[in-house]
Structure 1
């Protein structure tokens, strides 16, 4: 999230211009603003040629759908992007998935700090590596970390059904999305 190519940007026009057949507007890079108030002030200043412009977000990049719509940007967006900036790219992607698909932020009513804390407790890592199935890859790590088969003789350990155990593990207790694994608590 730290590179300029991944910067959150919005193309801002107005409904008045759009209804007149014009897509006139400008790309605004959200990293240029400290908060939503400053962003909106700049948007209105840019469209000062209209009397009471109604802003229209015609396109956006690197902004999750849960923070933006055609006519609004969530007030928490700038705090969200600041939190992402403090994370490495893989963790930031995992946090986006967690907030969008696992724990429905900001709709869950949590403040961002609590959302980050619950993410850190839930996130188990990215498992899109050497194995074809992230769930099975995580299961191997889980079994090793918990010592589940530590007391089993090596001759019997090879008969353990990792695929079946992975299926059961992810039926209750864990969720996998695009290789990212989260505990369901």
Structure 2
């Protein structure tokens, strides 16, 4: 985990208690557990006063919605937390965006390793600092990295329309979400 302040946690009650008008439960810090099985065992142990408790995840923090619902936590959640815990915050944010809005993991059926590899191939970086237009910033970087204007006389280079070029790049081939740029393939 990156730090305890951003650590994933879930408030776990039961449907039985909820149906009886009680929100009794406990916050469980997921960073204390190795895997889903260990976490669920602790939840059932906490609610041992009920016969066959049906767990209800009433609230959660720092867990992407694609990994959790009111009644389940995805089996790959702990592997996801481990992978993002090794990333800096900017990259972890980009990976969450990629999983949620671009490549729809885990519903796409990919293994986490395949999803990470696909993300690394697609992610171009963060270009949204200081309130700048991320698409325009990326267009400048793209032109520089590819040498698109190398060999063009500097008197002509200043007439290149970066805004139009950025628009074209992001119409077909690239996407931008919250300053993060991804190649669309």
1:35 aligns with 2:30: no
Tell me, in whole angstroms, the C-alpha distance in 2 between the residues paired with 1:131 and 1:144.
21
Question: Partner residue of 2:91?
Answer: 91
Equivalences for residues 139-158 of structure 1 within 5 A: 139-158=139-158
What CA distance in whole angstroms lies between the structure 1 residues aligned with 2:21 and 2:156? 72
1:7 maps to 7
Q: Do structure 1's residue 120 and structure 2's residue 120 form an aligned pair?
A: yes
| Residues 18-75 of structure 1: per-residue CA shift (max 9 Å, x gap) | 1111110000011111000000000000000011111000000000000000000000
Tell me the alpha carbon deviations over residues 120-158 of structure 1, each in whole angstroms, 9 at most, x when there is no partner.
111100001246210000000000000111111111111
Name the structure 1 match of 2:44: 44
CA distance in 2, matches of 1:161, 1:177: 23
In structure 2, stretches of 5+ residues that fail to align are: none
Aligned to 2:100: 100
Provide Cα deviations, 1:61-114, integer angstroms capped at 9, x if missing partner.
000000000000000100100111111111111111111111000011110001
On the 8 A contact 1:80/1:112 being kept in 2, the answer is yes
Q: Are the counterparts in 2 of residues 131 and 137 from structure 1 also a CA contact under 8 Å?
A: no
- SS of residue matched to 2:60: strand
- d(CA) in 2 for partners of 1:149, 1:131: 26
What is the DSSP-based 3-state SS (H/G/I as helix, E as strand, rest coil) of the residue aligned with 2:129? coil
Q: Counterparts of 2:15 and 2:179 in 1: how far apart (Å)? A: 40
Structure 1 residues 24 and 121: CA distance shift in structure 2, 3 A = same
Q: Does 1:19 align with 2:19?
A: yes
Supply the distance in 2 between the matched residues of 1:122 and 1:106 (Cα, whole angstroms). Answer: 17
